[in-house]
Structure 1
């Protein structure tokens, strides 16, 4: 979908010069897209998931300026209005915009997970955050037990962070 590529381009402009943020959302987007496809999401949920993954941290920039913090609660507060404005300008469907804004506004509130799109977004974000935040193996095991539900997400977490063997492509 060309709109997603346009959205990615807008997000790169939004985070111009901030390689860390650009790389983060691109990696989360890639894992979210792949997990969603592997888990067999329908087209509507897949589109919502992919768009949400692209903009999930859009509130960080304002949070850092306003509160001098990138804490999840500030991202959830500041992100939805920015995401809504951007998605509407790019003429995304209203129902998609509403759901994406909900996900942006709750993506650090794990007790609010209400559907597979939300679940996969959280898993994709964790897959990247484990590396970026240098989370310990014990904490990864805890994350897996608490927050990972999809077969694909669990498999990727195991292969990336909990694998003791050197696996070869056969």
Structure 2
């Protein structure tokens, strides 16, 4: 990636992160969650050698992956994964479109990933796999999952070498 392209991608992600902090203003737990998921996704994606375009989509999705929580709480009084997947894509599309720096192809993929990030039975694409792994790395800690549950997640969910290494070094 050329220096100008990297700077552009870095600034897109910076601006998107800043917008998500504003979106979640007053909710430090959600803000910290998105930052942690973003950084783990970044680490895994870089370690796995993703191409620049996929890396950008992965990182942008990691930043907005839980954007459906607030609207789900307002509409349904809950923020479970099903409702997040249902409400998140439209919210993500609004935010990404307002920025004006993501292409329609990028927005489509990001919204699709947001709408599937709690669906684990048909993971397709490295961006999807890594997003799920990064979210699990953070959720295991935040939800204080017992070691046996972590082992099951490792067996059923984790596939990337980098994600497995992080999981093992952190929890097992």
TM-score by length of 1: 0.94
- Aligned partner of 2:80 in structure 1 is 71
Aligned: 1:17 with 2:26: yes
Alpha-carbon offset, residue 3 of structure 1: 1.2
Alpha-carbon offset, residue 66 of structure 1: 1.1
- Aligned partner of 1:136 in structure 2 is 146
- Aligned partner of 1:99 in structure 2 is 109
Q: How does 1:19-168 map to 2 (within 5 A)?
A: 19-91=28-100, 92-162=102-172
- What are the Cα deviations for residues 72-108 of structure 1, in whole angstroms up to 9, with x where unaligned? 0000000000100110111111111000000000000
In 1, the alpha carbon distance for the partners of 2:112 and 2:122 equals: 10
| Runs of 4+ displaced beyond 6 Å | none
In 2, the alpha carbon distance for the partners of 1:53 and 1:18 equals: 17
Q: Any gaps of 5 or more consecutive residues in structure 2?
A: 1-9
Q: What secondary structure does 1:110 align onto?
A: coil
**Number of positions where the alignment pairs a residue of Structure 1 with one of Structure 2:** 162
- Aligned partner of 2:4 in structure 1 is none
Alpha-carbon offset, residue 11 of structure 1: 0.3
Alpha-carbon offset, residue 112 of structure 1: 2.9
CA contact (8 A) 1:84 1:97 kept: yes
Structure 1 stretch displaced more, 96-105 or 106-115? 106-115
CA contact (8 A) 1:59 1:75 kept: yes
